Structure 1
């Protein structure tokens, strides 16, 4: 079934199926028509539905598109559409609209093999227009357009077929209002002179999502800075091994090795191999001896800690806490003048790094560096 409205079976067991205001795509001809339409329109709205409960990689269940006022639900289980959609994702002449698109970007890039370009996130646009926090799509639609959307199908099984009409309506709504939101938000962004900010932030989001696993995953652990250097090194080795195994087996990281156990092993593994087994026993692993083998191998293969191994920064001390507090107050004044949430300009982690290094981190980006140029961390 490819064109026209679609009647979906299993919509609501209490009543008959009903006609929908979207088109279901499961054939190449209809897909090519949509691709051509998007090229002519120079814009499209996009969203995905996927399942990620028992796997490392998300399992794509549906791709939603809004093009020139028409809504489409693309079935990736029925048609190999990655290449045609990749042409749109990689076309810099076509603006792609998305909301809170971090995971969607990852899923779409893996599916299509194409890094998205000219992709604009309406959540980021709302933040730069002065909306505090990371506002969800339903709330933004309600506040901006006065439309109340249901969240009822959020946790649906998107791999099951046939999808119910309720699922399809919910999915279609996720792209139905992206262009109307953009029509409101973008003029505000232009009026504020923040178009380049928006483009920069959206590029940073894509870079962050598609950067891949860190070579130094221990740096993402909240308390790693309080661990001795050798513990940090062992934790890094264990987390690297976990990432490889999770990818190889396509299983969630926590199924391979949860954070708490990795930290415990990193702390106790400095002695003989029995230390790893002991940690696994204490964690209740069924076969600690067998489970310990790959962990011991990963630790042994890492060898000695390199001299240039990056250690997590230690927790800030009392005077530094006071400096962070003062710097945050100065940031608050800047944010208030701009009508932005302070944490959008600099998170607490950035403030702490700025106090340690007595300068703003280079990675904060161009627009942040510009608005913070009169706030000198070395003065605090």
Structure 2
């Protein structure tokens, strides 16, 4: 196997001098206790040469970023959401154009969440060794087996992409595929509204307005703290512990201790948590409204069945899988907009945008 391992700035500058407009791209990273992923290797294949770029050794990655941010180039990824998030955090932007082969496979009916190795075997008849998928990519030196594994991910990605693009073009699905790739890429790096994070918590629908106000404040603070310290969010304070605080509204450190928080959580954040509770309780006029589950709306089952029927009929007519048009989460987003937000013009559900709107808009 031929690849070039890049470990210094000048070699990266030279290696990124390419006229290729299509780049197979992958990243290897570690994300265990941190909020942001830590890059261990960037892999690039332009159809002729394979680059393995070591971000631990290379101090200036700007030549790589210029390559990926060039609007005249397409970056191929497979199941690239986490890669996009990493590249955005490291470079300040996402690649200018992203084509995701997992999405392409879904449009072609090969599977909605098909992994890279099964896709390569299905299309190329090659069985990839995935023994190093959980390796420590920050440890040095990287072994030849690790580097070969990393190189395979982009070398085989390139011909797989070419085959998938040909099939998409034959079926007239290229434009829809490109729209979906752009939507997914930009959605991955959208900034969360800290004041809405609490709505994604488990059992939020069981809480009254006071508890919701406390939880809203706690979740917004925890997200900011995780980002500030680059710490995985549950390593700040566990989700279950935030729910206990919201339900019980503790007013002292002794009250917190009775809720079975860890000693470290109380020692490090106890005073802050109590202050957030106090602030939330002091402003009842700003308490959120109770959260009603979608399944508790009287028309939920009938409307879900109606929308699924429309999706399946449209999918059959378009020659694609209904799962590509809408997951249950996307349908729920539409119902939430319809019932909870009163069809607000400040929010547009995914089902009413882009290629999905052309399929379903008038029927919905």
TM-score, structure 2 as length reference: 0.88
Is 1:172 the equivalent of 2:164?
Answer: no
Q: Which residue of 2 aligns with 1:205?
A: 184
Deviation at 1:313, TM superposition (A): 4.2
SS at match of 1:322: helix
Q: Which residue of 2 aligns with 1:73?
A: 52
SS at match of 2:17: helix
Whether contact under 8 Å (2:241, 2:259) holds in the other structure is: no
Residues 205-257 of structure 1 deviation map (CA, whole Å, 9 limit, x = unaligned): 22211112332102222432343233222212111111111122221111111
Q: Which runs of 5+ in 1 are unaligned?
A: 1-19
Q: Which residue of 2 aligns with 1:257?
A: 237
Is 1:60 the equivalent of 2:39?
Answer: yes
Q: Which runs of 5+ in 2 are unaligned?
A: none
SS at match of 1:41: coil
Q: In structure 2, what is the Cα distance between the partners aligned to 1:231 and 1:343?
A: 36
Whether contact under 8 Å (2:310, 2:360) holds in the other structure is: no
Q: In structure 1, what is the Cα distance between the partners aligned to 2:25 and 2:329?
A: 32
Q: Which residue of 1 aligns with 2:2?
A: 21
Distance 1:306 1:98, change over 3 A: farther
SS at match of 2:25: strand
Deviation at 1:288, TM superposition (A): 6.8
SS at match of 1:367: helix
Whether contact under 8 Å (1:132, 1:340) holds in the other structure is: no
Is 1:366 the equivalent of 2:346?
Answer: no
Q: Which residue of 1 aligns with 2:315?
A: 335
Q: In structure 2, what is the Cα distance between the partners aligned to 1:229 and 1:339?
A: 47
TM-score, structure 1 as length reference: 0.85
Q: In structure 2, what is the Cα distance between the partners aligned to 1:305 and 1:49?
A: 47
Is 1:299 the equivalent of 2:297?
Answer: no
Distance 1:177 1:323, change over 3 A: same
Deviation at 1:329, TM superposition (A): 2.7
Q: In structure 2, what is the Cα distance between the partners aligned to 1:214 and 1:42?
A: 36
Moved more, 94-103 or 122-131: 122-131
Q: How does 1:1-380 map to 2 (within 5 A)?
A: 20-37=1-18, 40-215=19-194, 216-269=196-249, 273-274=251-252, 277-286=254-263, 290=267, 291-301=269-279, 304=283, 312-317=291-296, 318-355=298-335, 357=338, 362-364=348-350, 365-376=353-364
SS at match of 1:172: helix
Whether contact under 8 Å (2:25, 2:44) holds in the other structure is: yes
Q: In structure 1, what is the Cα distance between the partners aligned to 2:220 and 2:200?
A: 12
Residues 293-333 of structure 1 deviation map (CA, whole Å, 9 limit, x = unaligned): 11122334455266595764434235422331233233222
Deviation at 1:349, TM superposition (A): 3.2
Aligned length: 352
